[in-house]
With several copies, the nearest count.
Chain A
Amino acid sequence: MNSLFQDDVITISVASNPRFLTLIRCMVFNTALLLKFSEKISREIMLAVDEAITNVIKHSYNQCYEKEIIVSLHLKNDRLEIHIRDYGKKTDPSCIKSRDLNDIKPGGLGVFFIRKIMDHVEYDTSPEEGTLLKLIKYKTDCGPSPAGGHNGD
């Protein structure tokens, strides 16, 4: 792999309607494959992004389906960086936690998947309106060591 991808950004703007999740998924999955992630990892990245957008719809936008979500895919040689921008309710990032897996209850798995799968998860609430969620997945051997991989989880 050479530096072909250095500056490529793909941007998708879509309404906060769950029916569009499937479109974002195919986009993310195929982008990960383009970057030569394995099919298994590509599938996981797709799941993490699905969960993140599901949370934007549920929590930032309170199930209001007509708001805007902007997903941008940053194709780098050593990683895929995904930004999810919403203009909804902000939350203190320290309150966004996955639940204990031993506590079997509906809900609370989304954040678990996101943190389990991605190498870097950062909720940036500094924009005047809404939140910018930054997700990063490194190519094998390019990222932080496994021990430090699931940051802050």
Chain B
Amino acid sequence: MEIKVINSNNTAVFEITGEIDLYNSPQLRQQLTETINKGLKFILLDFSTVKYIDSSGLATLIEGLRKLNKVKGEIKLCCMNKNIRDVFEVSRLEDIFAIYNTREEALNDFKKD
């Protein structure tokens, strides 16, 4: 898995490539923590090139969601393929995470003031 982080103002976009499992999720967790600690409160995870996610990856996302909620930040996800979407659907995390089709829609929807 590779993560490219693009920061601008208080928003960070994560471009994630590859598989998110028990092996890779610590790296995602660390990247999320670092970003939140830097004070960025709006995080968009672009899933365009994510090929796989399991419960270790989902747990990491839920952790990130909780941390951001505490600081009145937001986490959004976009550009999931059908296979990834299915995993969110089955685990009913579709209702918990804000999931968008495109990066633009997601970015425009951050509730900044």
A and B touch in the complex (CB under 8 A): yes
Q: How far is the CB of A34 from chain B (nearest CB, A)?
A: 10
Pick the interface stretch among A51-59, A128-136, A142-150. A51-59
Closest to B59 in A: A106
Least CB distance, B109 to chain A, in whole angstroms: 21
- List A contacts of B3 (CB < 8 A): none
Within the complex, the shortest CB–CB distance from A105 to chain B, in Å, comes to 7
Alpha-carbon distance A21/B20, docked complex (angstroms) = 11
- CB <8 Å contact, A21 and B23: yes
- How many B residues, CB 8 Å from partner? 21
Which chain A positions have C-beta within 8 A of B62?
A: 104-106
Interface residues on A, range: 20 to 34
Asked if A95 is at the interface (CB within 8 A of a chain B CB), the reply is no
Q: Contacts of B19 on A, CB cut-off 8 Å?
A: 22
Q: How far is the CA of A112 from the CA of B55 in the complex (A)?
A: 9
Question: A18-B23, A54-B21 are known contacts. Are A43 and B83 too (CB-CB below 8 A)?
Answer: yes
User: Within the complex, what minimum Cβ distance (angstroms) separates B98 from chain A?
Assistant: 14
Instruction: Please list 22 pairs of residues, one from A and one from B, whose beta carbons are closer than 8 Å in the complex, sorted by A's number.
Output: A18-B21, A18-B22, A21-B23, A22-B21, A43-B86, A47-B87, A50-B21, A51-B54, A54-B22, A54-B56, A57-B22, A101-B92, A104-B96, A105-B62, A106-B58, A106-B60, A106-B63, A107-B55, A109-B91, A113-B54, A113-B55, A116-B90
